[in-house]
Amino acid sequence: MQKYLGNNSNVMKQKNRALILNIIKDEGGISRAELSKRTGLSRGGITPIVNELLSMELIVETGVSVTDSGRRPIILELNADGCHAIAVDWTRKKYTAALVDFTGRIITREQYWFTDNDTLDHILKRLKESINNILCQSKAKRIAGIGVVAPGPLDIYKGVILSPPNFWGWLNIPIKQILENEFKLPVFVDNNANAYALAEKNYGKGRQYHNFIYVVVDEGIGAGIIIEDDLYRGKGGFGSEIGHISINMDGPKCECGNNGCIEIYATIPQIMRHVNNYTELGVLSSYLNIIRSRRLLRWDDILNGLKIEDPVCMNIIRKIAVYLGNVFVSLINVLEPEAIFIGSDIASAGKHLLEPIKEYLHDRTVTKDIHKTDLLLSDLEHGSLIGGAMLVLQSFIDSGNYGIFE
């Protein structure tokens, strides 16, 4: 993301275009006069750049705002149809491909659920077909690229899906090269936690925070970390693997080599494995025992149990809250974020998860008597897909070189 410092030099034309377009995106709407104040560029410097962006149909004039002086300046906003991205969310169960517009709205999407007989070659063939279908049906005049979101670990620079756990044995998939060769579009690759964080920062409650952590709990546990409005990735792109923070030094050995990682205890599959084992032995829950007598329990069963306040379901979520709270204490003490967002499947537990974590954090952080870190459930739908598109759209905006997409 561009920093808000402008320059009137012709040499800086592309940077100034990117600067102005970033501010318009971040503000959701802004006047020319306010752009001049924010960038330090003169009104004479702002006008030709804004006119260029209007002629490229990247922005639109949408109305007026009332100022203290009574003036009614025209507001500039992103043109939803000005640029699009293809987003691919590849999970352990399925992939979803979508066309996303310049304002983060999903226009169309296709899903494919994996079967036991699927091979990697077949999945890649189906994925190419899905993307091609979307491109053929699209009326978009400018598609800036493809953003692929997948479980880590990933090589985000080479665009390779390395060796995600429980990923059907598929390793070292050069997805960037495969899709670039097929579609002749730039391809960007990142993990799902980073994608969720980008979506939250640009289109959700995260817009009001400069520093926050987005925690994902589903088949794995990860985090997207926003520091001073930018995504933190670390030296090689592996800088937010919170699933491998140990909560039990004497616990079972994790695939990563550490002992007692939270991923061993608190992913959705691990939760359900333990619940099914416990109910097989018999627990004090007629609700769960009835279901377990017919089939294995599923995550939805736990969520439905929370609605009727089944005591065993409530205790399961409280235990998960303690596991997560243990990690959150470390994150807060090390990074001092303004907020932590909880997203993906675990967020469906709602207040039953949120309140016990808040209670756990209350007296356990260094800053407890100074300020509190906000703890929030993300309510942004399809965050991983939207974040995948944002990988493309942000790169497009930051380039300042919009003519190549004409």
Express each pLDDT in 154-204 by its tens digit: 999 999 999 887 788 899 999 999 999 999 999 999 999 999 999 999 999
End-to-end alpha carbon distance in the chain: 23
- Asked if the structure places residue 3 within a domain, the reply is no
The residue among 240, 237, 202, 206 whose CA lies nearest residue 223 is 240
| pLDDT for position 281 | 55
Can you say whether the dihedral through the CA atoms of 30, 33, 35, 38 is positive or negative? negative
The residue among 136, 126, 138 whose CA lies nearest residue 99 is 138
98 and 241 share one domain: no
Amino acid at 367: T
The CATH number linked to 353 is 3.30.420.40
How far apart, in whole angstroms, are the C-alpha atoms of residue 30 and residue 282?
Answer: 61
Domain-terminating residue out of 44, 78, 112? 78
For the chain, the domain total comes to 3
CA dihedral 192, 376, 313, 276 (to 10 degrees): 10
175 and 254 share one domain: no
On whether the CB atoms of residues 347 and 378 are closer than 8 A, the answer is yes
Domain-terminating residue out of 22, 50, 78? 78
**Token digits of residue 125:** 């063939």
Neighbours of 316 (CB within 10 A): 24
On whether the CB atoms of residues 161 and 170 are closer than 8 A, the answer is yes
- Asked if the structure places residue 181 within a domain, the reply is yes
Per DSSP, the residues of 261-272 read BTHHHHSHHHHH
E-assigned strand segments in 27-91:
30-31, 59-64, 74-78, 84-90
223 and 364 share one domain: yes
Residue reference for tokens 């140990």: 246
230 and 366 share one domain: yes
300 and 339 share one domain: yes
- Asked if the structure places residue 4 within a domain, the reply is no
Domain-terminating residue out of 78, 94, 116? 78
- Asked if the structure places residue 122 within a domain, the reply is yes
| pLDDT for position 405 | 47
| pLDDT for position 252 | 93
Helix, coil or strand: residue 86: strand
234 and 117 share one domain: no
- Asked if the structure places residue 5 within a domain, the reply is no
| pLDDT for position 406 | 44
231 and 313 share one domain: yes
Question: pLDDT tens per residue, the chain (406 residues)?
Answer: 555 555 556 557 888 899 999 999 999 889 999 999 998 888 888 999 999 999 999 999 987 655 555 567 899 999 999 999 999 999 989 999 999 999 999 999 999 999 999 999 999 999 999 999 999 999 898 999 999 999 888 999 999 999 887 788 899 999 999 999 999 999 999 999 999 999 999 999 999 999 999 999 998 899 999 999 999 998 888 888 899 999 999 999 998 899 999 999 999 999 998 888 876 556 678 899 889 889 999 999 999 999 999 998 999 999 999 999 999 999 999 999 999 999 999 999 999 999 999 999 988 999 888 888 999 999 999 999 999 999 999 999 999 888 754 4
Per DSSP, the residues of 108-175 read EEEEEE--TT--HHHHHHHHHHHHHHHHHH---S-EEEEEEEEPSPEETTTTEE---TTSTT---B-H
305 and 166 share one domain: no
- Asked if the structure places residue 319 within a domain, the reply is yes
284 and 218 share one domain: yes
- Asked if the structure places residue 1 within a domain, the reply is no
219 and 362 share one domain: yes
- Asked if the structure places residue 128 within a domain, the reply is yes
* Domain range enclosing 335: 205-377
220 and 250 share one domain: yes
The CATH number linked to 36 is 1.10.10.10
